[in-house]
Amino acid sequence: MRTREKIVLLITLAVLLLLPMVAEATGNSFYIRLAARILILALAAVSLDLILGFGGMVSFGHAAFVGLGGYVVGIMFYHDFNAEPILGLDATQSFLAILAMAAVVSAMFALVIGAICLRTRGISFIMITLAFAQMLYFLMVAARKYGGEDGLALWNRNEMPGGVVDLHDHAVFYFVCLGLLLAFLFIGYRVVHSRFGRVLRGAKDNERRMTALGFPVYRYRLAAFVIAGAAAGVSGALLANYTMFVGPSYLSWTQSGELIVMVVLGGIGTLFGPVFGAAAFVLLEEFIPEILNHVRDGWGEHWQILLGPILLFIVLFARNGLYGALRGQTGGPMLAPDLTGADLTEPDRPKDADVSVEPATDTGRPV
Amino acid sequence: MTALAIVQTLNGFQLGVTLFLMAAGLTLVFGIMDMINLAHGSFYMIGAYLTATFVGVFDSFLLAVLFALPLAALVGLLVEMVALRTLYQRDHLDQVLATFGLILFFNELVKIIWGPVPIFMGVPEFLSGRIMFGPDLEYPAYRLAIIVVGFLVAIGLWLMISRTRLGMLIRAGASNREMVTALGVNIKLLYSLVFALGAGLAALAGAMAGPIYSVQVGMGEQILILTFVVIVIGGIGSIRGAMVGAILVGLVDTFGRVLLPGAMFALTGSTAAQGVGSAIASMSIYILMAAVLFFRPRGLFPVKV
């Protein structure tokens, strides 16, 4: 990691730690809520980047895991509120238990669908992940018991054991989200820089070669898919607590699209980049309408007409994303085989200059 | 019972040919340019909106469609030349993102021009009747017309691709674009033409669907996802696969919705099971797609490399 990158990360961390104090001191507690939303979406985006950026798996169904995590909160609330046992057990409202459940449920779902999806490559993978997310979407729309199309409004946030920490307090909730995001970034950093991470990145660049070297690529990918799913489930549980609502909109395919946008906006394959991407996306969503409304009343609701071309522009011209710009990296294709997130000074890193000229025959695409 | 089965089969075909019109363009664009275009649904929406507007102007459905289709194809041509042309050589992820941006743009643009309220579009008068096939078997003439038009277009498309010079170039471009360029064919022009053709077909699907479903923002995405299911099942890049996949999806979806809730109710006698049945029905085509991909990861009619 270069000095400039370290400085950027330290400044960001300082800003995130000080933000609640500053916001409360200046009477802008609204910004704490906004920042908490950024952190929650950042967790989902970072987990997506783990498979998208490092594993080269373009999953178009990541919102499914976020939605599952959210529905764990919602369904637990429903059963607790109606004092109705679920699967023969009493429902719980304990925050920690629910986070664990969200992670486990999402991880199990990821294991099942990953086992099927990872048999395919290229566009088929994009489509089959989308298909599974859609299945879950329609399942929840049909689940009238849990609100069906309208979703469930939660009347309470989950509780911390002993009541020491009150999740209703905006600053407290913010720090819980920050803690979880930092924890996952730490895990992600360790994963990416471990042997496991190298195999994953190697398989993205040249699957055939990794297989020939004797690595069970499928199993490595599946493991990464499950880790990412679990983290996204946790982020969904946080999101449900944050909005105190859960509904099929959590699972909609546009939600998956927006997560991809955050990853790319921040810098794909950079681990920390999606945090900046999530921040940029939420801030754009929040402030473009306001700016437009200043220009002319009523224009604000049409803000997406600007977002569309912005996206197109980013894809066409700014391929390293915000994080790439912040750490002073210019040029080069977005998904270059030079492992954008990797430490370039690592001595034992294999030379892969010849990878880019090999024909991409292993992608399974026709034509 | 047989009357019901026939009517539902026809409904399945009607959805199927609509999906085919969408899938044909998408699969051609993918097969030839190696391009995933999420914004394909936007042309469907634009086709429906333009037709609805021209119906108001000319008071004739046929005339409206006649004006709407070239206009929608022109929009497609513009989009291709301005934005998508540079994306052909890019990664699939870049294409997904850029065209996702285009969806947001077109949805908002339509909302600004026509407003957020769905537009009503009546069935054209000359097709408003019902056709009697037997004593208790009748079917709306308009839906029958959709099926006929869909199959005619499919035959036309097949003739164009297998018999004409343009079709030959399209097939050549799909199998080896460098060679075609080297032989002096203007490949850029060919790509633009194929894209405009796809946009026109999508607009035709939208125009015909307008009187049946409501014309509203977001209608493109609903059918887009079904269309992707179709081309993935059929094998990406294959017109024949698109046809088979479209009919299959149309029939599975229609019969799933009709039969499953009732069947679940009859089996268990509980309304909860009926709810489960309708949930499975709306998931049925995705289950079909997952099953096809599981056994044949490249679809039913994989295009030869």
Q: Which of B86, B107, B232 sits opposite A127 (nearest CB)?
A: B232
Q: What DSSP string describes B21-55?
A: HHHHHHHHHHHHH----TTHHHHHHHHHHHHHHHH
Half-sphere exposure of B27 (CA within 13 A, CB side): 32
Partners of A246 in the β-ladder: A152
User: Measured on CA atoms in the order B275, B276, B277, B282, is the torsion positive or negative?
Assistant: positive
Rounded Cα gap, residues A248 and A229, in angstroms: 18
Interface test with B, best of A52, A116, A124 (most B CBs within 10 A): A124
Tokens describing residue A124: 């088929």
| Contact status of A75 with chain B (Cβ, < 8 Å) | no
The secondary structure of A196-241 as a DSSP string is HHHHHHHHHH-HHHHHHTT--HHHHHHHHHHHHHHHHHHHHHHHHH
Helix B141-163 and helix B187-209, axial crossing angle in degrees, nearest 10: 170
Task: Tell me the per-residue pLDDT of B90-99, one tens digit each, with 9 for 90 and over.
Answer: 888 888 888 8
Measured between alpha carbons, how far apart are the two ends of chain B, in Å?
Answer: 46
DSSP structural state of residue B140: E
B189 has pLDDT over 90: no
Return the pLDDT at B170: 82
CB proximity A72 to B under 8 Å: no
So what's the pLDDT on residue A101? 93
- Say yes or no for a CB contact (<8 Å) between B108 and A308: yes
| Rg of chain A over all Cα atoms, to the nearest angstrom | 21
The secondary structure element, H or E, covering residue A16 is helix A3-25
| B32: Cβ contacts below 8 Å, ≥ 6 apart | A367, B170, B173, B174, B177, B190, B191, B194, B237
| pLDDT band at residue A71 using 50, 70 and 90 as cut-offs | very high
Q: Is the dihedral of CA A27, A30, A33, A38 positive or negative?
A: negative
Indicate the residue type of A211: T
In the prediction, which pLDDT does B155 show? 92
- The Cα B214–Cα A42 span in angstroms is 37
Asked if the model's pLDDT at residue B71 lies above 80, the reply is yes
Interface test with B, best of A128, A137, A145, A204 (most B CBs within 10 A): A128
Please tell me the predicted confidence (pLDDT) of residue A359: 42
Chain B closest CA to A111's CA: distance in Å? 15
pLDDT higher at A50 or A23: A50
Percent of chain A scored above 90 by pLDDT? 33
Nearest to A47, CA basis, from A71, A35, A64: A64
**Shortest CA gap A299–chain B (Å):** 9
What is the per-residue pLDDT for A62? 94
Asked if B108 and A127 come within 8 Å (Cβ–Cβ), the reply is no
Cβ-proximal residues to A281 (8 Å cutoff; 6+ apart), any chain: A41, A258, A261, A262, A265
- The pLDDT > 70 percentage for chain A reads 88
What are the tens digits of pLDDT across the range A24-49?
Answer: 888 888 888 899 999 999 999 999 99
Instruction: List the 92-151 stretch of A: residues with Cβ below 8 A of B.
Output: 116, 119-124, 126-128, 130-132, 134-135, 138-139, 141-144
Tell me the C-alpha distance between A81 and A242, whole Å: 18
The whole-angstrom separation of Cα A189 and Cα A270 is: 10
Q: Which of A76-85, B183-192, B245-254, B269-278 has the lowest mean pLDDT?
A: B269-278
pLDDT at A51: 93
> Among all residues of chain B, which has the CA nearest to that of A129?
B290
- B298 to A366: CB separation less than 8 angstroms, yes or no: yes
Query: Which of B106, B221, B303 faces A366 most closely, judged by CB atoms?
Result: B303
Examine the pLDDT at A367 and tell me if it is beyond 50. Answer: no
A30 CB within 8 Å of a chain B CB: no
Q: Which of A116, A141, A260 comes nearest B97 by C-beta?
A: A260
Q: Which residue of B has its CA nearest to A254?
A: B100
Flag the least confident range among A18-22, A80-84, A108-112, A157-161. A157-161
Mean pLDDT of A294-317: 78
pLDDT recorded at residue A340: 42
Predicted local distance difference test score (pLDDT) of residue A330:
53
Over residues A105-118, the mean pLDDT reads 92
Calculate the dihedral angle through the C-alpha atoms of B166, B169, B175, B176, rounding to the nearest 10 degrees: -150
- Judged by DSSP in three states, A347 sits in coil
The helix or strand, by DSSP H or E, that contains position B137, with its residue range, turns out to be: strand B137-140
pLDDT digits (tens, 9 = 90+) for A136-159: 998 888 888 888 888 888 887 888
- CA B146 – CA B65 distance, rounded (Å): 13
- Report ipTM (2 d.p.): 0.80
**Cβ distance of A315 and B101 shorter than 8 Å:** yes
CA distance A246 to chain B (A): 19
Contacts of A144 in chain B (CB under 8 A): 275
Whether residue A132 and residue B108 make contact (CB cut-off 8 A), yes or no, is no
State yes or no: pLDDT of B273 exceeds 80. Answer: no
Q: What is the mean pLDDT of chain A?
A: 83
CA gap A207, A218 in Å, rounded: 10
Confidence of residue A333 (pLDDT cuts 50, 70, 90): very low
Per-residue model confidence (pLDDT) at position A228: 95
Contact predicate B75/B46, CB 8 Å: yes
Nearest CA in chain A to B226: A131
Confidence of residue A331 (pLDDT cuts 50, 70, 90): very low
From B30, B36, B91, residue closest to A335, measured CB to CB: B91
Instruction: Report, as an integer, the average pLDDT of A3-22.
Output: 87
β A152-153/A245-246 pair status: antiparallel
Does position B259 have pLDDT exceeding 70, yes or no?
yes
pLDDT of residue B68: 92
CA distances from A14 to A20, A37, A273, B91, B265 (A): 11, 18, 17, 36, 59
Mean pLDDT value across residues B171-183: 80
Q: How many CB atoms lie within 10 A of CB B35?
A: 21
B283 contacts A124? CB cut-off 8 A = no
Pairs of residues, one from chain A and one from chain B, whose beta carbons lie less than 8 Å apart: 153
Lowest mean pLDDT, pick from A108-112, A205-209, B25-29, B172-176: B172-176
From B87, B174, B287, residue closest to A367, measured CB to CB: B174
pLDDT confidence bin for B140, thresholds 50/70/90 = confident
Question: What pLDDT, on the 0 to 100 scale, is given for residue A363?
Answer: 44
Burial of A241 (0-12, 13-18, 19+ CB in 10 A): buried
Kindly indicate the confidence band of residue A7, based on its pLDDT and cuts at 50, 70 and 90.
Answer: confident
What average pLDDT does chain B have?
86
Q: Which residue of B has its CA nearest to A52?
A: B93
Contact B221 A135 (CB under 8 A): no
Per the structure block, which two tokens stand in for B57?
Answer: 């102007």
pLDDT at A277: 92
Sign of CA dihedral B79, B83, B84, B85: positive
Rounded distance between C-alpha atoms, residue A272 and residue B278, angstroms: 42
Q: How confident is the model at residue A105 (pLDDT cuts 50, 70, 90)?
A: very high
